[in-house]
Amino acid sequence: MNESEDHKSLPQDADYSGPLIEVRNLTKKFGKKLVLDKISLSIEKGKTTVIIGPSGCGKTVLIKHFIVLQRPTSGQVYFKGRRIDDLSERELYGVRTHFGYLFQEGALFDSITIAENIMFPIRQHFKGVKWREAEELVKAKLAMVGLDGFQNYYPANLSGGQRKRAALARAVALNPEVLLYDEPTTGLDPIRSDIINELILKFERELGVTTIVVTHDMKSAYKVADRIIMLHNGRVIADGDADHIRNHPHPTVQQFINGQVSEDDLAVLRMSGTLATSQFLPRDFQ
Ligand SMILES: Nc1ncnc2c1ncn2[C@@H]1O[C@H](COP(=O)(O)OP(=O)(O)OP(=O)(O)O)[C@@H](O)[C@H]1O
Ligand SMILES: [Mg+2]
């Protein structure tokens, strides 16, 4: 693909049958710290891809590259076959309307109501939208997540699970083609987590969205995923369906999915235990 082809407008669905999102040799460094190390992968349209991996391994950084909220140190990002990592913020604005995202921090605006939160992206992208139409849209989106009637509540007056659902309603406000969820079930009890899983499946079914979920929650991963990708030390170390991951021979994959501490980590813990004992216990107790 040459440079001028790269920057043509997005192809219509009928013309394009390649991967929806693709990263090629994606490397991201922060200063000297290497976070993503020449990652290449493609995300297929209409599927749910789950990204797992230990805390700090680069999951959030990777999905931020999909919408170019982070720029690669080297390598490229493509959306529908068009290179996007080198677009200007202004050009990216249009690309990002194809995406809905639920950030790890949840990020509802605290000082405005739930209805105003959901209207926010609608008003930003459709400047001429009539108040009445926007209200109807908000009602429909809140109904999808079981929160119609909560329009005039402030985020602080909702439970954690309700806030996540309201944030989901906002993520689907613009009828996106792709939904990115960053740890959607973190901090929720098992029942509330399962409600979020069901909503992820419902959006996939009813809106036909392509879904990407970052999670630590293996129960959720197994429930929603068509494909699971595990990141470790800046690279993809496992990639396949739930059974492929369950039966994966790599010890790091098994330790992660079974929640076991590795021998290396245990050695560090034993070491710090010895230090703590010698520093804080009186001699008689040693
Ligand atoms: N803007 C930034 N500046 C410097 N370092 C960053 C920045 N964003 C992320 N990092 C570093 O990149 C690494 C990966 O971060 P990232 O947030 O992607 O981890 P994660 O896999 O999402 O972890 P968690 O599961 O805890 O959310 C971390 O070491 C983090 O400190
Ligand atoms: Mg993260």
pTM for the predicted model, two decimal places: 0.86
Q: Is residue 261 part of a domain?
A: no
Distance CA 246, CA 266 (A): 23
Residues within a 6 A CB radius of ligand 1: 30, 35, 53, 55-61, 104
pLDDT in the model for residue 286: 43
Judge if 122 and 153 occupy the same domain: yes
In a domain, 146, yes or no: yes
Cβ atoms < 10 Å from Cβ of 180: 24
Same domain, 43 and 168: no
The secondary structure element, H or E, covering residue 263 is helix 263-280
The span from the CA of 42 to the CA of 132, in Å, is 40
pLDDT of residue 126: 75
Domain with residue 91: its CATH number is 3.40.50.300
DSSP class of residue 20 equals: S
CA of 50 to the centre of ligand 2 (A): 13
Q: Are residues 2 and 116 in the same domain?
A: no
193 lies in the same domain as 69: yes
Instruction: Give yes or no: residues 157 and 232 share one domain.
Output: no
In a domain, 139, yes or no: yes
What is the spatial distance between Cα 223 and Cα 14, in angstroms, rounded to a whole number?
31
- Answer whether residue 140 is part of any domain: yes
Task: Judge if 93 and 5 occupy the same domain.
Answer: yes
If asked whether residues 63 and 147 sit together in one domain, one would say: no
Residue 256 lies in a domain: no
Predicted local confidence at residue 104, as pLDDT = 72
Q: Tokens standing for 22? A: 């693709």
Note whether 90 and 190 are same-domain residues: yes
Q: pLDDT (tens digit, 9 = 90+) per residue, 179-189?
A: 999 998 888 88
Structural domain contains residue 230: yes
Q: Do 3 and 91 sit in the same domain of this protein?
A: yes
273 found inside a domain: no
Domain stops at, among 175, 192, 226? 175
Q: What is the Cα–Cα distance from 73 to 184, expressed in whole angstroms? A: 28
**229 and 89 together in one domain:** yes
What atom in ligand 1 is closest to the CA of residue 231? Answer: 21
| Nearest protein CA to atom 5 of ligand 1, as residue | 30
Query: Does a structural domain hold residue 259?
Result: no
Structurally, the chain folds into a number of domains equal to: 2
Point out the ligand 1 atom lying closest to the alpha carbon of residue 61.
18
The pLDDT assigned to 61 comes to 96
Copy the structure tokens of residue 225: 């995923």
Q: Report d(CA 117, CA 127) in Å as an integer.
A: 16
16 and 154 fall within a common domain: no
Q: CA geometry: angle at 166 spanning 162 and 169, to 5°? A: 140
In terms of residue numbers, what domain contains 51? 1-98+183-202+215-245
pLDDT at 10: 56
pLDDT of residue 3: 40
Do residue 25 and residue 47 come from a single domain?
Answer: yes
In tens digits, what is the pLDDT along the chain, a chain of 286 residues? 444 444 445 555 667 788 999 999 999 999 999 999 999 999 999 999 999 999 899 999 999 999 999 999 999 999 999 999 999 999 998 899 899 988 876 678 899 999 999 998 888 777 777 888 888 989 999 998 899 999 999 999 998 889 989 999 999 988 899 999 999 888 888 888 899 999 999 999 988 899 999 998 999 999 999 999 999 999 999 999 999 999 999 999 999 999 887 777 777 777 765 555 545 555 544 4
Ligand 2 centroid to 185 CA: how many Å? 12
Q: What is the pLDDT of residue 264?
A: 73
Ligand nearest to the CA of 103: 2
